């Protein structure tokens, strides 16, 4: 019922099977538990008490995985910090979470993360800074000294006993990805985390012995929960991948015989368009899980037809729901997987409401509300934000617009805030993007609403074109007029080399909207 119990179970059942592969590091499940225990001892020797917050600021690695389990074993609460954050953003997370210890990398793509923090930053609760990976940094504790302190405490005649971790104890405070502005810390507990990812693994068909390449960052629930925790629960090997590059990912798939490759739609769009794709043996891939607020049907089709991935499963979730609300099942019919995000997990309820909070009938679009064991306890030290997100009955307002069919499957229409109104008609960017992706010259696309004197708002499309197709603004708009209702047709198209993305691969529409302001 807790993550430490799951680690013990994995070490006993899967024992000598590979748990983590990261370069030269190849840990069995027994070795992973031993490394996590050493880190837990070091944290306890540093004065960490049950319930204290421990921040982890580093790219995906085997050390990241072991350290996260060490935090849990010490009875502390993990606070993952986004590696894309600048110093002022990281300091805000450290301050708001009241983190006691920060473990960080001094070599993240050549950047010493400690250098980004102002040495005079107001962090009254932070008692120690530890170098997790990379060269030593002035004013910090080296990894060797940190671990040595724990090893010495273990050798004492009466070492401190392991804290008792209960299912309802906090496991993590995970700050939201920030596609809409300042992040908030969602409080997630041990029991719901384990229960959610037992159900998740069953739904997607994750197997013992699978080799799972994780391109999602571990500071996000998609990496921490649906990769690290799910693999631990199922006995699969997790291979952390620090920085997404399609060529490097395909090379690792071939070299390590990867069988499971989850990721946001942008990951697969990049692989599909890579000029050297046919040079890599991707035949071991059997399962992919993709998700976002919406997943274009065309992406799912090409993953099956062009990448030959036998099982492509879609799902839906938020940080505030421990990462998952609903999943398609691996044995669902193709049309269900292609057009929906499946049914809610057992024990999770979903309802669709209008702007006044009245529940709608099946097939009517409205805001998705979620209730169940997977819903966060609230936002850490932020009662106002918690009251805004959770109603008095415990329903989480997701801000997503969707439909529940008569069969119980959910279809996501869009983010509530992303909808724009063209001459009185509601226009949903995700729907328009899905159509544009069927254009033979469009690789990736994001649509926003921009002001228009006559119609109020109209669509603008930011398009990454396919490398081998010649397209321009005029031709895409003309094509759009033939393939969608007039109010949905983008009035302007900008050809771009890349889209602004969060580290988890979601388009940051607020940045596009900001750039579009006159």
DSSP per-residue codes, 471-495? --HHHHHHHHHHHS-GGGS-SEEEE
CATH code, domain carrying 485: 3.30.300.30
Of the candidate ranges 75-89, 112-126, 472-486, 491-505, the one whose mean pLDDT is the lowest: 112-126
Tell which residue, 290, 283, 237, has the closest CA to residue 267: 290
- Integer Cα distance of 102 and 391 in angstroms: 34
CATH code, domain carrying 261: 3.40.50.12780
Quick one: pLDDT at residue 159? 75
Quick one: pLDDT at residue 517? 67
Residue 294 has pLDDT above 70, yes or no: no
In a domain, 212, yes or no: no
Distances (CA, A) of 85 to 82, 111, 178, 221, 286: 6, 12, 11, 17, 34
Q: Are residues 360 and 447 in the same domain?
A: no
Residue 101 has pLDDT above 90, yes or no: yes
Q: Are residues 354 and 396 in the same domain?
A: yes
Quick one: pLDDT at residue 502? 78
In a domain, 94, yes or no: yes
Torsion of CA 199, 253, 508, 457, to 10 degrees: -90
Give Cα 356 to chain centroid, integer Å. 31
Question: Domain boundary at 154, 173, 192, which?
Answer: 173
- The DSSP H or E segment spanning 351 is strand 348-353
pTM of the entire predicted model? 0.84
Q: Are residues 431 and 339 in the same domain?
A: no
In a domain, 207, yes or no: no
- Integer Cα distance of 509 and 418 in angstroms: 8
Q: How many domains does the chain have?
A: 3
Q: Are residues 402 and 257 in the same domain?
A: yes
Quick one: pLDDT at residue 178? 47
Q: Are residues 504 and 467 in the same domain?
A: yes
In a domain, 91, yes or no: yes
Q: Are residues 324 and 357 in the same domain?
A: yes
Question: Domain boundary at 119, 152, 173, which?
Answer: 173
Q: Output the six-digit token pair for 93.
A: 């997370």
Q: Are residues 495 and 356 in the same domain?
A: no
Q: Are residues 438 and 388 in the same domain?
A: no
Distances (CA, A) of 467 to 159, 433, 479: 61, 19, 19
Between 240 and 84, the more confident residue is: 240
In a domain, 194, yes or no: no
Q: Are residues 287 and 408 in the same domain?
A: yes
Of the candidate ranges 82-96, 116-130, 172-186, 364-378, the one whose mean pLDDT is the lowest: 172-186
CATH code, domain carrying 100: 3.40.50.980
Q: Are residues 261 and 352 in the same domain?
A: yes
Question: Domain boundary at 116, 146, 173, which?
Answer: 173
In a domain, 238, yes or no: no
Q: Are residues 278 and 412 in the same domain?
A: yes
Q: What range defines the domain where residue 95 resides?
A: 26-173
Residue 199 has pLDDT above 90, yes or no: yes
In a domain, 220, yes or no: no
Mean pLDDT computed over 396-409: 93
In a domain, 5, yes or no: no
Work out the percent of the chain whose per-residue pLDDT is above 70: 97
Quick one: pLDDT at residue 180? 45
- Helices and strands per DSSP (H, E), number in the chain: 17, 23
Task: Find the DSSP H helices in 62-171.
Answer: 62-73, 87-97, 113-116, 143-154
Quick one: pLDDT at residue 120? 55
pLDDT in tens, 202-224: 999 999 999 999 999 999 999 99
Q: Are residues 431 and 301 in the same domain?
A: no
């Amino acid at each position: 019922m807790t993550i430490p119990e799951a680690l013990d179970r994995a070490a006993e059942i899967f024992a000598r099977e590979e748990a983590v592969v990261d370069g030269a590091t190849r840990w069995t499940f027994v070795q992973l538990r031993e490394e996590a225990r050493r880190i837990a001892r070091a944290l306890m020797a540093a004065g960490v008490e049950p319930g204290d917050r421990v921040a982890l600021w580093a790219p995906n690695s085997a050390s990241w995985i072991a350290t996260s389990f060490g935090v849990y074993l010490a009875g502390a609460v993990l606070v993952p910090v986004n590696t894309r954050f600048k110093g002022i953003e990281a300091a805000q997370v450290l301050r708001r979470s009241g983190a006691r210890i920060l473990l960080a990398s001094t070599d993240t793509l050549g950047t010493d993360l400690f250098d980004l923090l102002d040495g005079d930053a107001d962090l009254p609760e932070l008692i120690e800074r530890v170098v997790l990976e990379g060269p030593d940094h002035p004013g910090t504790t080296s990894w060797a000294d940190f671990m040595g302190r724990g090893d010495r405490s273990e050798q004492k005649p009466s070492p401190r006993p392991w804290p008792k971790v209960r299912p309802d104890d906090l496991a993590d405070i995970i700050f939201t990805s920030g596609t809409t502005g300042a992040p908030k810390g969602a409080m997630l507990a041990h029991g719901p985390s384990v229960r959610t990812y037992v159900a998740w693994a069953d739904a997607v068909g994750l197997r013992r012995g699978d080799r799972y390449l994780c391109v999602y960052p571990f500071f996000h629930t998609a990496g921490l929960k649906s990769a690290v925790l799910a693999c631990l629960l199922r006995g699969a090997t997790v291979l952390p991948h620090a920085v997404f590059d399609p060529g490097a990912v395909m090379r690792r798939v071939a070299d390590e015989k990867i069988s499971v490759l989850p990721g946001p739609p942008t990951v697969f769009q990049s692989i599909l368009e890579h000029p050297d794709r046919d040079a890599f043996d991707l035949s071991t891939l059997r399962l992919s899980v993709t998700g976002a607020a919406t997943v274009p049907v065309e992406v799912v089709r090409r993953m099956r037809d062009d990448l030959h991935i036998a099982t492509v499963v879609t799902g839906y979730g938020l940080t505030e729901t421990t990462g998952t609300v609903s999943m398609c099942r691996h044995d669902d019919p193709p049309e269900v997987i292609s057009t929906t995000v499946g049914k809610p997990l057992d024990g999770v309820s979903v309802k669709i409401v209008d702007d006044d909070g009245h529940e709608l009938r099946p097939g009517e679009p409205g805001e998705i509300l979620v209730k169940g064991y997977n819903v966060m306890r609230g936002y850490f030290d932020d009662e106002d934000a918690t009251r805004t997100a959770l109603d008095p009955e415990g329903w989480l307002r997701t801000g997503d617009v969707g439909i529940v069919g008569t069969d119980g499957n959910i279809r996501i229409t869009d983010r509530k805030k992303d909808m724009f109104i063209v001459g009185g008609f509601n226009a949903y960017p995700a729907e328009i993007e899905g159509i544009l992706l069927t254009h033979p010259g469009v690789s990736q696309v994001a649509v926003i609403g921009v002001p228009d004197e006559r119609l109020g708002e109209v669509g603008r499309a930011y398009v990454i074109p396919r490398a081998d197709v010649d397209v321009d603004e005029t031709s895409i708009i003309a094509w759009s007029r033939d393939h969608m209702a007039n109010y949905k047709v983008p009035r302007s198209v900008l050809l771009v080399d890349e889209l602004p993305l969060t580290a988890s691969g979601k388009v940051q529409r607020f940045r596009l909207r900001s750039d579009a302001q006159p």
